[in-house]
């Protein structure tokens, strides 16, 4: 017999190796000897009260053996002779689109401007150490897209858009830990993601698909309102039938190309701000109500903050406990920040984007003349501002949190995980009022909500500007562009996702649409 039950375990109890069996026996009113095994289905930590509680959902096996860990199975077919579907971009959306094509019996041909995960590392080193951005291979571009050298947090609010469990099982099938199927806040870590991404590529190739790196699409040929040909940077032209456009939100050249071809785009509301970095022990002590180091059983603490400031949302974004701030620019002449963390989340810093909602239709009147690109131009200006304020390298402008809020230049800064370095700058006066003013008020409120958060030991660093796309590419109910047949805008670049999991789910949906399955 198998019984699913919920258990509450205190931190002290959690240290006991047999605690789940003992508690299960008590809840079920049976002897421990009758329990042949326990499988954890869900685990979360509740640290809202002084007493930290581990909440478990477990399957208790009574007088019957626990099955081996389920091997997740995906029915990938031999597609070497099947009809082709071209996919531009090999981020989460492109990868999952390609895998779904293979399942459905179509042959994906993936074109990716960046390098494979291994070669990409050299370009990341160049950004961090030499302040040089390779415009085709960086933290956003290359195998696995922006999702590879990322945090690998897998939570999504887009539960309605697809089958999250299926996405997770597929990650496990390709080498991610099966812990992601259990944790309430699943996370893979930047050290583990490249192998998973590489395994996805191998599945595609081993089943007859193609994945081409260093292959940038620079033009499309459209005839009779149908996409016919892709032109690559090396001049090669490729005739195509269906095209999934999964180029992400940083491929500005693709937006410009669509615009030049009179293909409809829309300006999109988004959010921008700064990244704030605290010593991890401060966040731990707030979240776990502890004075010294957190208990070894507890992961580096995270937080999620959201507040309305004068009717405008200010919120934390992509919080990385035990992580690093990374330079995520895709061109020289701009400074863009994002965060990542290793699977153990054992770095000494906690960083998070703190961003302000920007309504593309109400807030950007000075940028109206840029039309559909008004939000994108605003984003570019902010990134260039950060570049200039940081000293025209990848060094980022920064201020102590308290100085930022009080409007003072910082005489010195706190240590930081950001490898290219920080330069003291008056971000409080440099940032547009819309962002700077909302952030300053927001930080004060956050400090009241989380005692200890508002501290001079934290740095505010500029800028967090790529939270989502500032442009969207419309599509109809068949997920095709309304003007161009056989072109399927997909993932974050189209404005249909915000994160790894939602991009992956959208990739699957677009593949289904391109393969002729429409729900």
Is 326 among the residues that bind ligand FAD (CB under 6 A)? yes
The dihedral over CA atoms of 123, 127, 129, 132, expressed in degrees to the nearest 10, equals 100
Q: Which one of the spans 178-186, 194-202, 422-430, 488-496 is the region binding ligand FAD (CB under 6 A)?
A: 488-496
> By C-beta, is 92 or 470 nearer to ligand FAD?
92
Tokens at 107, concatenated: 């042959």
C-alpha–C-alpha distance, residues 263 and 247, integer Å: 16
| Cα dihedral 500, 501, 505, 506 in deg (nearest 10) | -40
Binding of residue 442 to ligand FAD (CB under 6 A) = no
What is the nearest approach in angstroms of ligand FAD to the Cβ of residue 512?
16
Q: Could you say whether residue 147 binds ligand FAD (CB under 6 A)?
A: yes
Question: Which residues are paired to 44 by β-bridges?
Answer: 55
What kind and span of H or E run contains 197? helix 193-206
Peptide bond into 109 cis (omega under 30): no
500 binds ligand FAD (CB under 6 A): yes
Distance from C-alpha of 17 to C-alpha of 26, rounded to nearest angstrom: 16
Does residue 328 touch ligand FAD according to CB under 6 A? Answer: yes
Residues 323 and 151 sit within 8 Å (Cβ to Cβ): yes
Contact present, 144 and 114 (Cβ < 8 Å): no
CB of 245 to ligand FAD, least distance (A): 9
Q: According to the binding rule CB under 6 A, does residue 337 interact with ligand FAD?
A: no
Beta strand 35-46 with 2-10: parallel, antiparallel or unpaired? Answer: unpaired
CA atoms within 13 A on the CB side of 45: 17
487 near ligand FAD, judged by CB under 6 A? no
170 lines the binding site for ligand FAD (CB under 6 A): no
Q: What is the CA radius of gyration of the chain?
A: 24
Indicate whether 146 belongs to the interface with ligand FAD (CB under 6 A): yes
- Give the residue, chosen from 23, 100, 115, 216, that forms a contact with ligand FAD under the rule CB under 6 A: 216
Using CB under 6 A, which of the segments 174-182, 400-408, 423-431, 490-498 binds ligand FAD? 490-498
**Residue 313 beta carbon to ligand FAD: minimum distance, rounded to whole angstroms:** 19
Reference 394, options 439, 309, 319, 337; nearest CA is: 337
Does position 248 interact with ligand FAD (CB under 6 A)? The reply is yes
Does 376 bind ligand FAD (CB under 6 A)? Our answer is no
Based on the shown chain and the rule CB under 6 A, indicate whether residue 464 belongs to the binding site for ligand FAD: no
- Which residue stretch of 13-21, 34-42, 473-481, 493-501 sits at the interface with ligand FAD (rule: CB under 6 A)? 493-501
Q: What angle do CA 153, 56, 72 make, to 5 degrees?
A: 60
Return the residue of 52, 54, 94, 109 that touches ligand FAD, per CB under 6 A.
Answer: 94
Is 503 among the residues that bind ligand FAD (CB under 6 A)?
yes
240 belongs to the binding site for ligand FAD (CB under 6 A): no
Check residue 145 for interaction with ligand FAD (CB under 6 A): yes
| Residue 30 DSSP class | S
Among residues 52 and 396, whose Cβ is nearest to ligand FAD? 396
**Shortest CB 378 distance to ligand FAD, Å:** 19
**Residue 88 found at the interface with ligand FAD (CB under 6 A):** yes
Which residue in 85, 93, 176, 258 binds ligand FAD (CB under 6 A)? 93
Residue 217 interacts with ligand FAD (CB under 6 A): yes or no = yes
Residue 54 or 90 with smaller CB distance to ligand FAD? 90
The Cα-based distances of 92 to 103, 107, 139, 492, 495 in angstroms read 16, 18, 14, 9, 14
**Alpha-carbon span 81 to 212, nearest angstrom:** 18
Q: Applying CB under 6 A, does 247 fall inside the site for ligand FAD?
A: yes
Looking from the CA of 333 toward its CB, the CA atoms found within 13 Å total 4
Among 338, 352, 417, 438, interactor with ligand FAD by CB under 6 A:
338
Q: How many residues in the chain?
A: 519
Binding ligand FAD (rule: CB under 6 A), the pick from 14, 103, 151, 403 is: 151
Distance of CA 460 to the CA centre of its chain: 21
Interface ranges with ligand FAD (CB under 6 A): 88-94, 111-114, 139-142, 145-147, 150-153, 216-217, 246-248, 250-251, 254, 318, 326, 328, 338-340, 491-493, 497, 499-501, 503
């Amino acid at each position: 017999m198998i019984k699913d039950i919920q258990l509450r375990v205190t931190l002290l109890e959690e240290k006991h190796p047999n605690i789940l069996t003992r508690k299960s026996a008590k809840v079920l009113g049976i002897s421990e000897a009758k329990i042949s095994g326990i499988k954890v289905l869900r685990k979360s930590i509740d640290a809202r009260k002084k007493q930290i509680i581990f909440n478990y959902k477990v399957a208790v096996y009574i007088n019957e053996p626990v099955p081996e860990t389920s091997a997740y199975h995906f029915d990938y077919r031999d597609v070497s002779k099947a009809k082709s579907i071209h996919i531009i971009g090999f981020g989460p959306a492109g990868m999952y689109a390609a895998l779904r094509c293979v399942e459905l019996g179509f042959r994906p041909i993936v074109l990716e401007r960046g390098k494979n995960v291994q070669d990409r590392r050299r370009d990341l080193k160049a950004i961090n150490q030499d302040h040089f951005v390779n415009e085709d291979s960086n933290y956003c571009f290359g195998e696995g897209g922006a999702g590879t050298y990322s945090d690998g947090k897998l939570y999504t609010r887009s539960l309605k858009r697809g089958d999250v469990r299926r996405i997770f099982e597929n990650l496990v099938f390709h080498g991610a830990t099966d812990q992601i199927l259990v944790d309430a806040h699943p996370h893979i870590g930047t050290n583990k993601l490249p192998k998973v991404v590489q395994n996805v590529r191998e599945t595609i190739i081993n089943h007859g698909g193609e994945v081409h790196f260093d292959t940038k699409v620079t033009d499309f040929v459209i005839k009779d309102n149908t996409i016919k040909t892709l032109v690559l940077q090396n001049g090669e032209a490729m005739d195509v039938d269906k095209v999934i456009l999964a180029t992400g939100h940083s491929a500005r050249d693709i937006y410009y190309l669509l615009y030049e071809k009179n293909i409809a785009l829309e300006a999109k509301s988004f959010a921008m701000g700064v990244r704030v970095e605290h010593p991890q022990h401060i966040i731990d002590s707030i979240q776990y109500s502890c004075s010294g180091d957190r208990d070894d059983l507890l992961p580096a603490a995270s937080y999620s903050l959201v507040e309305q400031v004068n009717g405008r949302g200010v919120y934390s974004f992509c919080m990385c406990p035990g992580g690093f701030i990374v330079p995520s620019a895709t061109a020289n002449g701009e400074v863009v920040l994002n965060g990542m963390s290793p699977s153990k989340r054992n770095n000494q810093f906690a960083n998070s984007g703190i961003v302000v909602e920007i309504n593309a239709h109400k807030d950007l009147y000075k940028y109206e003349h840029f039309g559909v690109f008004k939000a994108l131009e605003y984003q570019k200006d902010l990134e260039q501002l950060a570049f200039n304020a940081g000293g025209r390298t990848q060094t980022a402008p920064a201020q102590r949190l308290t100085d930022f809020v009080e409007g003072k230049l910082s005489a010195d800064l706190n240590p930081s995980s950001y490898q290219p370095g920080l330069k003291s700058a008056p971000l409080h006066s440099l940032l547009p009022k819309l962002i700077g003013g909302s952030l300053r008020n927001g930080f004060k409120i956050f400090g009241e909500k989380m005692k200890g958060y508002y501290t001079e030991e934290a740095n505010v660093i500029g800028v967090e500007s790529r939270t989502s796309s500032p442009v969207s590419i419309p599509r109809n109910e068949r997920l095709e562009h309304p003007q161009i047949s056989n072109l399927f805008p997909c993932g974050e670049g189209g404005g249909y996702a915000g994160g790894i999991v939602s991009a992956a789910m959208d990739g699957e949906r677009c593949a289904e649409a391109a393969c002729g399955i429409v729900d």
